[in-house]
Every structure is written in C-alpha cells, then in structure tokens.
C-alpha cells in the first residue's frame, strides 16, 4: 500500500454531532481526495486538495468541509452529521489524470 | 459533469473462463480511464489504466480497450482464477473530478 492511513477506521455517532476524519500520507503527494462509497453509486468525490490550503469541491460536497494545513494531512469535517452521511469514506492521493492510491477507508455510521 | 455507466453489476464465471466488464462515458474531454479492483474491507487498487491516445493495453491476463468514438471502454480478464473475485470499478477523468462507475461484483467459481 502507498503510505496512506485513515483515522478512525470505524466511528458511530449521533445525528447533529460534528465529526472529523483524518487522512495522513507519507508520499509527499500534492493532490489528495476524499470520496464516499455507497452501494449502487461507486465512489463519489466530496472534496479534493491540490496543495496546502488549496481545496475545491467535488460532486457531493454539500454538508462537508475540508482543511489541509500540512502536505501530509487532509481533514474531512461533517459539521452536523446526518443519517444520509452514513457511508464508507476513502482518502486518495495522486493526480486526477494519473494513478490514485486509496487508503483503507473509514466506516461511519450516523444514528 | 462526466457520467460513467458500468455493466454488468454482477458477473459469475467458471475458473479459467474469460470475464468482460463494459463502461460508457459521456464527456468527450475525458482522457484517462483507470480500472480498480476492490477486495472486501479494503480500498480500491489500480489494476490497469489507459489514456485516450491508446486503443488497447495489456498486462498479463488483463487487458483494456478504448473506443473514443463510441465513448466506451472495457476490461477483459482471461483465464480467471478464484483470487480474481472482487468488485471492479471503471472511472473516467476529464480533469480533477474523476467519476466512477457503480461497480461490478465478479465471482469466479472454482
């Protein structure tokens, strides 16, 4: 595996609570991505970053925010979690028109 | 934005047979087409990719073909083995917003 870790790996939370997921890379890649994976939808891009403090929205960004203060860390925040945000979240590094390497995923359940 | 459709959603083959998964895309600006394999409980892993200036690419038992005119591309796995059982995703990327197909669950029966 490329040097990508995600934390936590599993989380159960309640509706309305804030949640932050962390992605950490040791590959010094400029680009980092957050995807969510749901049955029947494949992977959908939430947000991506093309450098420290440089981020942009993806296909399903509503309800999510991101931050990147260091090259190695990309944080995904759900300000007020909803049941529709129950999903498996994957971080990836690499170029959009080049190989992307995925982390092991975080399974989030919002009750 | 780009829209990627993938078929079939499930595929079952006997060990040793070939498997073919097909994808179509909508954005003619897409120029990079990767295929990912995802095993249970793991993140997707790239198995092969093709760029728009190439019509076919092969890597041992795996091959990908691209028809830019028809906007479709296919994954071919020959001499399938039980360890090929997984979910496979195609994707198309015109820019920073890579779009994935919904996935194909491949089962190889011994």
Q: How far is Cα B33 from Cα B65, in angstroms, rounded to an integer?
A: 10
Q: Cβ contacts of residue A55 below 8 Å, gap of 6+?
A: A47, A48, A49, A66, A67, A68
Is residue A47 within 8 Å of residue A61, measured between CB atoms? Answer: yes
* Cα radius of gyration (chain A): 13
Beta strands in chain B, from DSSP E residues, in sequence order: 4-7, 10-14, 19-25, 32-38, 45-51, 56-59, 62-67, 72-77, 86-92, 99-100, 104-109
pLDDT tens digit sequence for A34-76: 999 998 888 999 999 999 999 999 999 999 999 999 999 999 9
Residue B96: what pLDDT?
73
Minimal CA separation from B62 to chain A, in Å = 17
pLDDT in tens, chain B (110 residues): 889 999 999 999 999 999 999 999 999 999 999 999 999 999 999 999 999 888 999 999 999 999 999 999 999 999 999 999 999 999 998 877 889 999 999 999 99
Residue percentage of chain A with pLDDT more than 70: 98
In 3D space, the residue among B107, B44, B34, B42 whose CA is nearest the CA of residue B75 turns out to be: B34
Answer yes or no: do B46 and A99 touch at CB < 8 A: yes
The whole-chain average pLDDT of chain A stands at 94
8 Å CB contact of B44 and A102: yes
User: What local confidence, expressed as pLDDT, does residue B25 receive?
Assistant: 97
Length of chain B: 110
Which whole-number Å values give the CA distances from A72 to A11, A31, B88, in the listed order?
Answer: 22, 10, 28
* Rounded Cα gap, residues A21 and A7, in angstroms: 6
Residue B21 touches chain A, beta carbons under 8 Å = no
CB pairs under 8 A between A and B: 57
Q: Which of B90, B98, B101 to mutate to test the interface with A (most CBs of A within 10 A)?
A: B98
Q: Annotate A77-89 with b (16+ C-beta within 10 A) or e (fewer).
A: ebeebeeebbbbb
pLDDT at B97: 80
CB–CB of B98 and A45 under 8 A? yes
Query: DSSP letter at A85?
Result: G
Q: B98 to chain A: which residues are within 8 Å by CB?
A: 45, 96, 100
User: Given CB atoms, is B53 within the 8 Å cutoff of chain A?
Assistant: no
- H or E element at residue B42: none
Contacts of residue A31 in chain B, CB cutoff 8 Å? 96
Interface with chain B: mutation pick from A42, A46, A49, highest number of B CBs within 10 Å: A42
């Amino acid at each position: 595996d490329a040097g990508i870790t995600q934390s936590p790996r599993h989380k159960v939370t309640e509706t309305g609570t804030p949640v932050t997921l962390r992605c950490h890379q040791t590959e010094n890649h400029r680009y980092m991505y957050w995807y969510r994976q749901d049955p029947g939808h494949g992977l959908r891009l939430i947000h991506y970053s093309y450098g420290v403090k440089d981020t942009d929205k993806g296909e399903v960004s509503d309800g999510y925010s991101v931050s990147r203060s260091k090259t190695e860390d990309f944080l995904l925040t759900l300000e007020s979690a909803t049941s529709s945000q129950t999903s498996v979240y994957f971080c990836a590094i690499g170029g959009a028109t080049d190989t992307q390497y995925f982390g092991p995923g975080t399974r989030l359940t919002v009750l | 934005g780009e829209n990627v459709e993938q078929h079939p959603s499930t595929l079952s083959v006997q060990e040793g047979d070939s498997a073919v998964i097909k994808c179509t895309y909508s954005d003619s600006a897409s120029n990079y087409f990767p295929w990912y394999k995802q095993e249970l409980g793991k993140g997707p892993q790239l198995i092969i990719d093709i760029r728009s200036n190439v019509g076919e690419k092969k890597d041992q038992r795996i091959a990908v073909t691209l028809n830019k005119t028809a906007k479709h591309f296919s994954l071919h796995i020959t001499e399938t083995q039980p360890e090929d059982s997984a979910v496979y995703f195609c994707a198309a990327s015109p820019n920073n917003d890579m779009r994935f197909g919904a996935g194909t669950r491949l089962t190889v029966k011994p």
